[in-house]
Amino acid sequence: MKIVTASQMAELDRQTTTIDGISEKTLIARAGKTTAEWIAARFTAATRRILVLAGKGHNGADGAVAARWLRRLGYSVKVINAWEKKTIQIVESEINRHRRSKFQLLIVDAIFGTGLNRPLAEPFRSLVRLLNSSRLEIIALDIPSGLHADSGLPLGVSIEARHTLAFGLPKLGLVQEYSADYVGDLHILDIGFPQNLVARIQTPYDLLTVQDIAPLCEPRKRTAHKGDSGRPLIIGGSVGLAGAPALSARAALRTGAGLVSLIVPQAIYNITARLAGPEVMVHPIGRKGTKCFNQASFSKLHSLLINSTALVLGPGLGQNPSTRSLVQTLIRSSPVPMVLDADALNLISGSPSILRQARQKIIITPHPGEMGRLMGISPRKVQADRFRIAETFAKKWKVTVVLKGARSIIAHQEHTHGIRFSVNALAGNPGMATGGSGDVLAGILGALLARDLSAADSARGGVFLHALAGDLAMPETGGGIAGDLIEKLPGALLSIAS
């Protein structure tokens, strides 16, 4: 699904009315009705009261239409004109009244839309602060009021929504990393923009959806055997980091890999083999007591690598200087495509030019700290300009970049249009921020890459599948562990394919 800027969305609105003959009134009617249907599907009229805060423009009209439909559906709804002089007092009174009642108050934010481009002034600044401090559930229509539609930054202050219902297409500001706390859960509602007009929009940004990923998760043929489903090899682990490669291996199996091999230093062989489980073929490297990999490990690694269909290098690898030359050798000589994760990235951070010497396609999976080390900049600078940072690295070193975060970005080379971005903003939750989650992602990517998918498709499918499994496994409040996520991978695959 295409991600658009505010100006592109305005142009689509204009063309829809002038070329296709669909009036603004019709679009507003569709937006309001679709909003009401979305709310009715999730919130019971018997326990909810709804307060709609409406502005002067199209956004306010969307809210007013939604209110009319919600009343028809049996909801108690009050619409407040956000431009009234006593709006703050009225809203505060409504909030206090419903705190004493048996009903839960639901706020619909229809104050400002995507056209806002200057900081909120009073009294709207105070109104937004009041709503945010109320801790009530807020549903924002199209965009949270006060959020810039392109940058995703608050214009002074912004509504902190629990849900944002974007009409037609997602706006760029809604999928930025730093807008996640304002947008909440993002939902895209179809209000009937003509597909021929949508097809004309030129944008390098795509939003990952189930429909995009489904072709990558098709059921196996009835005659399939384990050799048909990919043979990823995982190289990682060191003393103190024995669990990381085991998580990757288990994730690869749960993603559907037919055969998974894992190579670890001799010193952690017993514990890693136990953690990985009997289904993983675990091979020790080095003499008894060997704690990490070194260049001498290459001969045995290579014999296993040539019988694999993808390589995952890095989970728990450690940063011993003796391991650096082995990582460089594997990048230069691997006969199969590879995922470079965690310490494999740290070990090449001083010389990323080694990536240009690779014989096969590469996916790298840095978090902001690792990306900063690769680029020689601070994590803060990475976070401040994630799209440009990912684009710069992907273009310079000819790799597919998965820049992890609350809004993970995949940057990859497209044959005719330069770098293309895919953004995950529809799946995943804060509960996934736990140790081992990145190791699970590396294993998922390795499993998909081992099936001879392209690096871009493996990255796109892997990121979305990982996030969807996280939604099935992880409470947003935390407490879930990476192993829980692994166990939900088959269910996530099934939900995508069905």
For 445, residues 6+ apart whose C-beta sits below 8 A from its C-beta are 312, 339, 363, 365, 402, 458, 459, 462
The pLDDT value recorded for residue 391 is: 97
Q: How far apart are the first and last CA of the chain?
A: 19
pLDDT in single tens digits along all 498 residues of the chain? 999 999 999 999 999 999 988 999 999 999 999 999 999 999 999 889 999 999 999 999 999 999 999 999 999 999 999 998 899 999 999 999 888 888 899 999 999 999 999 999 999 999 999 999 999 999 999 999 999 999 999 999 999 999 999 999 999 999 999 999 999 999 999 999 999 999 999 999 999 999 999 998 888 888 888 888 999 999 999 999 999 999 999 999 999 999 999 999 999 999 999 999 999 999 999 888 888 888 888 888 888 999 999 999 999 999 999 899 999 999 999 999 999 999 999 999 999 999 999 999 999 999 999 999 999 999 999 999 999 999 999 999 999 999 999 999 999 998 766 999 999 999 999 999 999 999 999 999 999 999 999 999 999 999 999 999 999 999 999 999 999 999 999 999 999 988
Spatial CA neighbour of 228 closest among 256, 254, 255:
256
The pLDDT value recorded for residue 417 is: 66
Q: Could you identify the residue written with the tokens 């990582």?
A: 327
Q: Which residues pair with 401 in a beta bridge?
A: 364, 411
For 433, residues 6+ apart whose C-beta sits below 8 A from its C-beta are 478
SS3 81: strand
| CATH 3.40.50.720 fits domain 213-497 | no
Q: Which residues pair with 137 in a beta bridge?
A: 106
SS3 463: helix
Examine residue 123 and say whether the peptide bond preceding it is cis (omega within 30 degrees of 0): yes
DSSP letters spanning 137-173: EEEEESS-TTB-TTT--BBSB----SEEEEESS-BGG
286: number of Cβ within 10 Å: 18
For 93, residues 6+ apart whose C-beta sits below 8 A from its C-beta are none
The pLDDT value recorded for residue 416 is: 62
Which backbone phi and psi does 290 adopt, to 5 degrees?
-65, 125
With beta carbons less than 8 A apart as the criterion, state whether 315 and 236 touch.
yes
Q: Which residues pair with 107 in a beta bridge?
A: 51, 138
Q: Which residues pair with 457 in a beta bridge?
A: none
Question: For the chain, what are the domain ranges?
Answer: 6-203, 213-497
189: number of Cβ within 10 Å: 17
DSSP state of 4: B
- Fold held by 6-203: Rossmann fold (3.40.50)
With beta carbons less than 8 A apart as the criterion, state whether 53 and 112 touch.
no
